[in-house]
Amino acid sequence: MRRLPRAFVYLILSERGEVYLGSTTCIKRRLAEHNSPHNTGWTRGRRWHLLALRMYLDRGSAVRAERQVKRSKYDKRNWLARLDRLAVLRQRHGISSR
């Protein structure tokens, strides 16, 4: 029997071209929180679009992967460079590159 993913590391793109990296166990809920007018965190006041998602079997693995990518600018740039979706989202929503 296969285990289903229980946690995610995600990249989201703002309308200003900013990229945010985070981890969660429910991507739909978390994206809604980022886009909520009641958001008081760093991502407040901007519209966010899901850019990429990596799946993990448990929360601990996702948090470790998130820390690794945040520590290494190379890992984040490498992940971004391999995304075809980045150019599509920028064009569709008129997002400038940052």
Domains of the chain in start order, with CATH, are 7-93 (3.40.1440)
Please compute the mean of the pLDDT values over residues 57-80 and round it to a whole number.
88
In the prediction, which pLDDT does 97 show? 64
Distances (CA, A) of 37 to 34, 41, 88: 9, 11, 26
Across the chain, mean pLDDT equals 86
Q: Is the pLDDT of residue 35 over 80?
A: yes
The predicted model scores a pTM of 0.79
- Please, which residues have CB within 8 angstroms of residue 26's CB and are 6 or more apart in sequence? none
